[in-house]
Amino acid sequence: MNENKKIVVYVDLDDTLVNFMSGVKKCPKETVARFERDENGKNQLDNIPGVFALMEPMTGAVEAFQWLAEHFDTYILSTAPWNNPSAWCDKLEWVKTHLGKAAYKRLILSHRKDLLRGDYLIDDSDRADILRFQGKHIQIGKEPFKDWTAVLDYFKSIVEH
């Protein structure tokens, strides 16, 4: 690793650091039913007010983020639903509560992840903007990065070189 330039790593929130469905499961069934599908059949669960405040961390995610933050220039890069203003605040509160000092002023909310400069983006999604990201996309949840253990093994090998 070039000692003059720290490697920049972005980490997604939804289904990467946080378990999205863990929040949905805590919502009243009537609320979930109202947001399950819109008139076009599209899932709208991310528009449930307050849902992001209820989410639990993915297994190993908090420890992994802490380790990444110690070794790299690490940021949280997430998309917040446009029609759910509480999500923007809830994501910030989640980061403060679960990631603490390591994530202080390191939350970026954007609908265009491809516009950011960096070396790595750890994200469960393969949306078009993510695939256009100029650095390396680490798609967590799929081989060879099936979980946080596999992701950390990869990044530990970078630190060792």
> Could you report the per-residue pLDDT of 13-67, keeping only the tens digit for each?
999 999 999 999 999 999 999 998 878 888 899 999 999 999 999 999 999 999 9
In this prediction, residue 2 carries a pLDDT of 45
Residues for the chain: how many in total?
161
pLDDT at 7 over 60: yes
Active site annotation includes 12? yes
Active site annotation includes 46? no
Domains observed in the chain = 8-19+55-160 (3.40.50.1000)
Q: Could you tell me what percent of the chain has a pLDDT over 70?
A: 97
Q: Are 78 and 41 in contact (CB under 8 A)?
A: no
Other CB atoms within a 10 A radius of the CB of residue 106 amount to: 17
CA proximity to 76, closest of 136, 14, 155? 14
Segment 65-81, tens digit of pLDDT: 999 999 999 999 999 89
Q: Which of 12, 46, 90, 124 is catalytic?
A: 12
Q: Could you tell me what percent of the chain has a pLDDT over 90?
A: 85
Q: Which helix (H) or strand (E) holds 109?
A: strand 107-109
Q: Which of 14, 46, 123, 124 is catalytic?
A: 14
pLDDT at 1 over 50: no
Other CB atoms within a 10 A radius of the CB of residue 85 amount to: 11
In this prediction, residue 5 carries a pLDDT of 67
